[in-house]
Structure 1
Amino acid sequence: MDLEKQKIELTEEEKKNINDWLPVTADRNAKWWYAAIHNVTCMVGAGILGLPYAMSQLGWGPGATILVLSWVVTLFTLWQMVEMHEIVPGRRFDRYHELGQYAFGEKLGIWLVVPQQLIVQAGCDIVYMVTGGTCMWQFYSIVCKNCKPIKRSYFIMLFAATQFFISNLPNFNSITTLSFAAAVMSLSYSAIAWIASAMRGVQPHTSYGSRYETNVGNMFGFLSGLGTVAFAFSGHNVVLEIQATIASSPDKPSKKPMWKGSLLAYIIVALCYFPVAFVGYLVFGDTVKDNIVTSLEKPAWLIAAANLFVVIHVMGSYQVFAMPVFDMLESFLVLRLNCKPSRLLRLTTRSTYVAVTMFLGIAFPFFGSLLSVLGGIAFAPTSYYLPCIIWLLICKPKRYSLSWFVNWFCIIFGASLTILAPIGAVREIIVQSSTYKFFS
């Protein structure tokens, strides 16, 4: 929570002590490359492997247009957020909701930003919990074909066990090494996906027509593809929190190193996203599977390595998205419930969060589809157009100026994704509901 607007009886020293304890503001010694690492880790998620499938739902023209347009729009909104971190002299908006409160008002800002931010961050962590366990399970199945089969649920629990341990790292900068390893792994499995596909060459009888037999299927598949693309650009939810870890002064504001790191990260994102999406679709066409690695089928060692890389990546991604949630929870407990900042409080809070994400990941096998619904509602606003609305409210560009037109274009584009993307996922949940088995 924003300490400047909390209990007035807190002294300046008490405020500083609490800020020094909270994970987002505890360490402000990050460098520009820290920002690049964290942004790559949270942007290039395992969902990248589904982009060729999204291309098969959208088609060459619309798919390429929407993917490139999403990259450009979210790069622009990322720049806006970096600029607005210190838009008010002498004050830093260290958290997304603090910027929202300044733009919309104390109460409305909380209700507009925090629920969407939590949906994205906790939702991604649940997906990463499932993804990590599933890839462990697939790695085990590939390298030990004659071993006794083990339920996927146990591998999700094993992945969760690593998060119980890692979650005790105190702040953002303390996970930099893990985040760096995760970023390297994301580059590695992305490269495996598109290079291995390119080496196989375009498959015989490859078609780039519709993968659905009916017009209704085409329409809902197209909408589902929009949701997949929107899901791929969800990193804005931790941008201000990452920037909060960088030192700032009037002579050397944090926006300069933050933008340098963010721009490098977005170049890396492009080098990962576009080859995987375009080469994967080019090679397999409308027969590509929802995970490009499984479309490769062989060699087995390569698929096993890719699964292992994904596991390491989502270990870091889980923490990058979890740190702002830890910050929210610990802020609430200390500032509103008057809990004493302590190691026990941190251990209890974070372990409970990991346990809840593990339980939901095991319990609801359809959460991936459900997240597409929530993703359209929360992912697109926080990355595509909420920064534009805040920019219009705070900076007030002249009506009909270039800035005014660009921001309204981004708002309309992002709002369209918000409305259209969840529809395909809702249909998918309804169609597949008869086959769902809880705690599978």
Structure 2
Amino acid sequence: MGEISSPASTAISAPPSPLPDSAPRTPRSPLASRLMTPIVSPMKKAITSVHGYLEEVGQFTKLDPQDAWLPITESRNGNAYYSAFHTLSSGIGVQALVLPLAFTTLGWTWGIICLLLVFIWQLYTLWLLIQLHESESGTRYSRYLRLSMAAFGGTCVILVMIGGGTLKTFFEIVCGASETCNVTRLTTVEWYLVFICAAVVLAQLPNLNSIAGVSLIGAITAVSYCTIIWVVSVIKDRPVGVSYEPVKEISDVATIFSILNSLGIIAFAFRGHNLVLEVQGTMPSTAKKPSRIPMWRGVKFAYLIIAMCLFPLAIGGYSAYGNLANDIYDAYCQMPGNEGMFDALHKYHNHDTSKVLLGLTSLFVVISSLSSFQIFAMPVFDNLEFKYTSKYNKPCPWWLRSGIRVFFGSVEFFISAALPFLRNLAALIGGIALPITLAYPCFMWIHIRKPTTYSAIWGLNWALGILGMVLSILAVIGATWSLATMGIEFHFFKAQ
């Protein structure tokens, strides 16, 4: 049913005002103001008050009761700060530590150009999604096409592997050599279990706004470990044998496939893009203060910080290790315990870097992974609870909500233990996910906003959308070729 919404409850359309200025007005006689003022004044004040309230709130809106029952939209008190925290925490990850590998094929010039173009492109499509969040009908699109179950579930598996593997590294740094440490050492799978237990405990926080503090901590730790890794890599002496000549392939076809594989790696570095609608859905929205304003303000700040992390990682990492990044990538393909520049830091600078600094870096990676897990898991929780609320037309009881989150954590742990090679498919996953970041938002804009045919915005979005789809196909082909030629061990239930 239509009803007047509060500013914090839902969003906004702007139907004709109850008292439009252009509407015909009833003529008033010269005596009306004197004879009728005592009676009319209270009513006039009430109407004026309601009119002002409607202008501030924005509209009559059609409310969906389910929104108040689901983790993403049950709290609508988000702001630009929360937007920045969530965007930073979800937008920076260890996949960025593999960026120097793309430069080994592309070289300095094309590597920087491609990284910059993809950054600007995905920032543009992010702006499109923010603008599309609120429709003229008053509907708020607070979920990204209901793709959450597949897209975010897979991301959480990778985070379990990264977090659990890095926990193992942290323990080994703190404990020292096995000869001097008498503490029982856990296997990699057991470290996965430790990580998922911590993640499930944090996952009991009810909704996306309630984890804003967790996202802030995750953002700080992500920026910290990225900065530590590239700064230490740059200021330390370069390893012997560093070269900056682009890798020579055995044929022109091999060179093309390597370039495409590099583009997939760059695309994979920009994660979290498809969370923007969920984050914006936690914000209040009115006609005068639509949610897109604070959302874009927070995103601009977050992506400034993200750029200050990703570009130094890529450029500084390639400067420090050059084509030796290929050796790291071979290890990355064959040994699921490694994360690009994080592994390079331990391989080349373990002897001349403080153990405290190495341990702190590992701890920051773990904390950042725990935080990111909460953000990427929340849309999955929202989907699962949506099925219950749709069927029974009531919110999930607390015990069921907790049970859903424990069940999800158990599934993620099982997949992580059973399929440890999944994390080695960075370029392939980047190619597959590329349309979500670079293509689909352009097509959404054309379909929903319906710009004038052959206008500049129409042509730009069609061009970027089609180019994004073509690049996705080519990147998948390139990644598949690279895996086939370099080789990868598909071992099950054997996490190393």
Do they superpose with TM above 0.5? yes
Q: Distance in 2 between matches of 1:343 and 1:218?
A: 55
* 2:152 is equivalent to residue 121 of structure 1: yes
Kindly state the Cα deviation for residue 331 of structure 1 after the two structures are TM-superposed: 0.3
Asked whether the 8 Å contact 1:41–1:313 carries over to 2, the reply is yes
- Opposite residue 151 of structure 1, the aligned amino acid is T
- Sequence identity of aligned pairs in percent? 35
- The answer to whether residue 357 in structure 2 is matched with residue 307 in structure 1 is no
Contiguous gaps of at least 5 residues in structure 1: 4-11, 98-113
Contact 1:369 1:428 in 2 (8 A): no
Shift of 1:234: 2.5
Q: Radius of gyration: which is bigger?
A: 2
Query: What is the letter of the counterpart of residue 387 of structure 1?
Result: P
Residue 244 (structure 2) pairs with residue 208 (structure 1): yes
- Partner SS, residue 59 of structure 1: helix
Deviates more, 1:335-344 or 1:55-64: 335-344
Q: 1:34 to 1:434 in 2, by over 3 A?
A: closer
Superimposed CA distance per residue, residues 296-351 of structure 1 (whole angstroms, 9 cap, x where no aligned partner):
23213322221110100011101111111111111012204667621122112111
Cα distance change of structure 1 residues 412 and 342 upon mapping to structure 2, 3 Å threshold: same
- 2:101 matches 1:48: no
CA shift in 2, pair 1:38/1:340, >3 Å: closer
Deviation at 1:203, TM superposition (A): 4.5
Q: CA deviation at 1:240?
A: 0.7
Q: Deviations over 1:192-239 (max 9, x none)?
A: 121112212554542112446533654443332222211122322111
* Corresponding residue SS for 1:246: coil
CA distance in 1, matches of 2:396, 2:197: 24
State whether residues 100 and 318 of structure 2, in contact with CA within 8 Å, keep that contact through their aligned partners in structure 1: yes
Is the aligned partner of 1:439 residue 2:487?
no
| Cα distance change, pair 29–339 in 1 and its aligned pair in 2 (3 A) | closer
1:356 aligns with 2:373: no
Name the Cα RMSD after superposition: 2.4
Structure 1 contact 37–265 (Cα < 8 Å) conserved = yes
Distance 1:152 1:428 in 2: 27
CA contact (8 A) 1:224 1:425 kept: yes
Pair 1:293-2:330 in alignment = no
* Structure 2 residues not aligned, in runs of 5+: 1-9, 11-60, 330-339
Greater helix proportion: 1
Question: Which residue is equivalent to 1:22?
Answer: 70
Contact 2:69 2:395 in 1 (8 A): no
Deviates further, 51-60 or 160-169: 51-60
2-side partners of 1:325 and 1:132: how far apart?
Answer: 19
Using a 3 Å threshold, how does the CA distance of structure 1 residues 217 and 301 change in structure 2: closer, same or farther? Answer: farther
Q: Please name the residue that 1:165 is paired with.
A: 201
Q: Superposition pairs for residues 93-172 of structure 1, below 5 Å?
A: 93-97=141-145, 114-115=146-147, 117-144=148-175, 145-146=177-178, 147=181, 148-172=184-208
Cα shift readout 1:345-395 (whole Å, capped 9, x = no counterpart): 211211111111111111112102346434422x21111110100101111
Does 2:300 correspond to 1:263?
yes
Q: Is the 8 A contact 1:370 1:426 kept in 2?
A: no
Note the 1:377-388 alignment, pairs <5 A. 377=432, 379-388=433-442
Deviation, 1:282, is 1.2
Contact 1:19 1:26 in 2 (8 A): yes
Question: For the structure 1 residues 393 and 434, does the alpha-carbon distance in structure 2 shift closer, same or farther, using more than 3 Å as the test?
Answer: closer
- What is the CA deviation profile of residues 121-142 of structure 1, one whole-angstrom value per residue up to 9, with x for unaligned ones? 1111110010000110111122
Q: Which residue of 2 aligns with 1:178?
A: 214
Query: How far apart are the structure 2 equivalents of 1:425 and 1:75?
Result: 24
Q: Indicate whether 1:66 and 2:121 are aligned.
A: no
Question: Residues 138-180 of structure 1, C-alpha deviation per residue, up to 9 Å, x if partnerless?
Answer: 1112221233543111111100001111111100011111110
Partner SS for 1:350:
helix
Structure 1 distance, partners of 2:211, 2:377, is 11
1:77 to 2:77 alignment: no
Deviation at 1:96, TM superposition (A): 1.8
Q: The residue matched to 1:366 in structure 2 has which SS?
A: helix
Separation in 2 of the partners of 1:230 and 1:119?
A: 18
TM norm structure 2:
0.78
Q: For 2:423 and 2:239, locate their aligned partners in 1 and report how far apart those are by CA, in whole Å.
A: 29
Contact 2:168 2:188 survives alignment (8 Å): yes
Task: Work out the CA distance in 2 between the residues paired with 1:213 and 1:380.
Answer: 25
